Structure 1
Amino acid sequence: MPRVIWNGAINFGLMHVPVALYQASLKIGIGFDWLDQRSMDPVGYKRVNKRTGTEIQSDDIVKGIKQDGGDHVVLSENQIKAAYPKSTQTIEIESFVKASGIPFTLLETPRHLEAIGNGNKAYALLRASMFEAGVIGIARVVMHTK
């Protein structure tokens, strides 16, 4: 059974349809461990100062962005959090375009929407209307920080 990755609603005009979002594909991969080939002991990760080679404690590490001249601009955790967009609970349909007008390469990760609660009839009407017109909805939503 697929797991819900986001709950919200589709908004379009006066329509408000509660929906759940599911991942429509599986990423299958293998998780490799780093091992010392001589003893098969696990290899850990150390945080090391690249210039001096000394190990650094987590409390002494800050985040920065390298500038063209080689200097770094250091950002606080609050500054980094403020830069992320705020999560929303609505999918705002902004326009409709012909499905053939969207290159397949722009579709990054397939997801599946499903109406929840009392939104089944309105969702089915929206889906059928879009299918009949041969269009897809262009929408804006922020899930988590993306």
Structure 2
Amino acid sequence: MGSMPRSIWKGAISFGLVTIPIKLYSATEEKDISFRQVHAEDGGRIKYKRICDKDGKEIPFSEIAKGYEAPDGRMAILEKSDFDDLPLPSAKQVEVVQFVDAEEIDPTYINKTYFLEADGPGAKPYVLLRDALDKTGKAALVKVAIRSREQLAMIRTKGDLLLMHTMLWPDELRDGEFAAPASDVSVSDAEVTMAQSFIEALDGPFEPEQYHDDYRAALEEVVNAKLSGSPMPSEDSEEAPEEAEVVDLVAALRASVDAAKKRREAAKGESKTG
């Protein structure tokens, strides 16, 4: 088992007159491969200096502040204390402002996911909120300030846990109408029926563990080969099928359905013999 993650925030959920002390933990971690910028000739690391554009001097972190530049060029310089002393009621208190059906919230709003853990005497009221949400099928809409930023968030249940999904504000979501096809584009009933057949051919329960990051695995092979001086891994010799220009959607979908069924049968055969 891995080490216990560190909590990134401590506060309390205000559930009416009930207070639930909690700790917050990141529920996700990216598994991407990280690289350093280096000199291609000798592998030396590339370093960047923090230079002030007024006096040309290198500035230590202790002297760097955050500045907001107004449209007219004026600069407002904010210190750490300015952020710490913001008059936000949500700074350490997560107040439930509404209960909603989780299905009502467009997934585009969801930003990050966190685990909530009861802190100290918070176990009993934690279970109370969890079970109440479970029985009503609702999620709690809250406001919370994390890392100097107030955010809308949704608290919902998952098994024995309470999860919190921070959300974007409505004005942070772009209008995607520009990407919609023209209103005069239409498809036939036969084409829709064939598309439904393709969906049914690939229909199944969501099992995320069967999917893997092939790009990361291939990149790790290349990195390991470079480190060990081994021959570079070769590409898969199988040629990708050429994509023909789609003229007849029904015929293309029918071929897609046949191919999907064959893949399903092949996968079942492998699982039986594996």
Change (3 A) 1:111 1:57: same
Change (3 A) 1:108 1:38: same
Match of 1:38 in 2: 41
Match of 1:91 in 2: 94
Greater C-alpha radius of gyration: 2
- 1:82 aligned onto 2:82: yes
Q: Which of 1, 6, 9 is 2:9 aligned to?
A: 6
Match of 2:110 in 1: 107
Change (3 A) 1:49 1:15: closer
Aligned-residue identity in percent: 29
Query: Could you list the runs of 4 or more consecutive aligned residues of structure 1 that deviate by over 6 angstroms after TM superposition?
Result: 59-62
Match of 1:65 in 2: 69
- Distance in 1, matches of 2:77 and 2:49, equals 23
Gaps of 5+ in 1: none
1:4–1:21 contact (8 Å) kept in structure 2: yes
Change (3 A) 1:77 1:132: same
1:22–1:112 contact (8 Å) kept in structure 2: yes
Alignment RMSD:
2.9
1:22–1:111 contact (8 Å) kept in structure 2: yes
Q: Secondary structure at the match of 2:25?
A: strand
Match of 2:234 in 1: none
Gaps of 5+ in 2: 150-274
Match of 2:138 in 1: 135
Deviations 1:70-95 (A, max 9, x none): x52222234x8636745722111111
Q: Secondary structure at the match of 1:72?
A: coil
Q: Secondary structure at the match of 1:91?
A: strand
Deviations 1:54-80 (A, max 9, x none): 95432898845263xxx52222234x8
Q: Secondary structure at the match of 2:22?
A: strand
The more displaced of 11-20 and 26-35 is 26-35
2:52–2:58 contact (8 Å) kept in structure 1: no
Following superposition, the deviation at residue 23 of structure 1 comes to 0.9
2:83–2:148 contact (8 Å) kept in structure 1: no
Deviations 1:29-48 (A, max 9, x none): 33322111122222111346
Q: Whose strand fraction is larger, Structure 1's or Structure 2's?
A: 1
Match of 1:122 in 2: 125
Change (3 A) 1:90 1:58: same
Deviations 1:94-136 (A, max 9, x none): 1111111111221111101121212212111111111211111
The number of equivalent residue pairs is 140
Q: Whose helix fraction is larger, Structure 1's or Structure 2's?
A: 2
Change (3 A) 1:44 1:21: same
Q: Note the 1:10-21 alignment, pairs <5 A.
A: 10-21=13-24
- Distance in 2, matches of 1:77 and 1:94, equals 30
Report which structure shows greater RCO (CA 8 Å, sep ≥6): 1
1:9–1:91 contact (8 Å) kept in structure 2: yes
